[in-house]
Amino acid sequence: MKKKTSKKLSLLGSGATKIPKSPQSVALETFENTHPGRDYEIVFDCPEFTAICPITSQPDFGIITISYIPDKLCIESKSLKLYLFSYRNHGAFHEEVINNILDDCVAACKPRRMSIVGEFNPRGGISIIVSAEYVAGGKKKK
């Protein structure tokens, strides 16, 4: 994951959109929080998340919810969309996906608090829910 903080966002309004090949090739863009003195929550919901099972190469479908309290920066939603879409061809276990998303989003915007929840559709009769949390000045919790 590349980090890009800019007053000028390069993806928003750029026209044609290409889906990146991997999460490492995506720049999560940010913009300045206009209310840094206030705690407020931003929630992103991705109900059509897709990744690939690293063992079977079968698609895994789920819902990813990202909730955070920004500090100085906010994540720009189009760059986040492209980042999440990049998992469509990326092989990883659910636990790895959620923890990588948390690490990359925290690195991009350095929030006060962030949580990521992945609710994955059943495979073999079992659904999996994975959550991870970051608290500034603390440790990540599962």
Residue 33 confidence (pLDDT): 97
Residue 8 confidence (pLDDT): 58
Of 98, 81, 89, 97, the residue nearest 21 (C-alpha): 89
**Going from the N-terminus, what domains does the chain have, and what CATH number goes with each?**
2-6+25-135 (3.30.1130.10)
DSSP conformation letters of 46-95: EEEEEEE-TTT--EEEEEEEEEEE-SSEEE-HHHHHHHHHGGGG-B--HH
Q: What is the DSSP letter of 138?
A: S
Give the active site residues: 53, 60
Per the CB < 8 A criterion, the answer to whether 84 and 46 are in contact is yes
Tens of pLDDT along the chain (142 residues) come to 555 555 555 555 556 667 777 788 888 999 999 999 999 999 999 999 999 999 999 999 999 999 999 999 999 999 999 999 999 988 999 999 999 999 999 999 999 999 999 999 998 899 999 999 999 987 655 5
Q: How is residue 30 written in tokens?
A: 């940010």
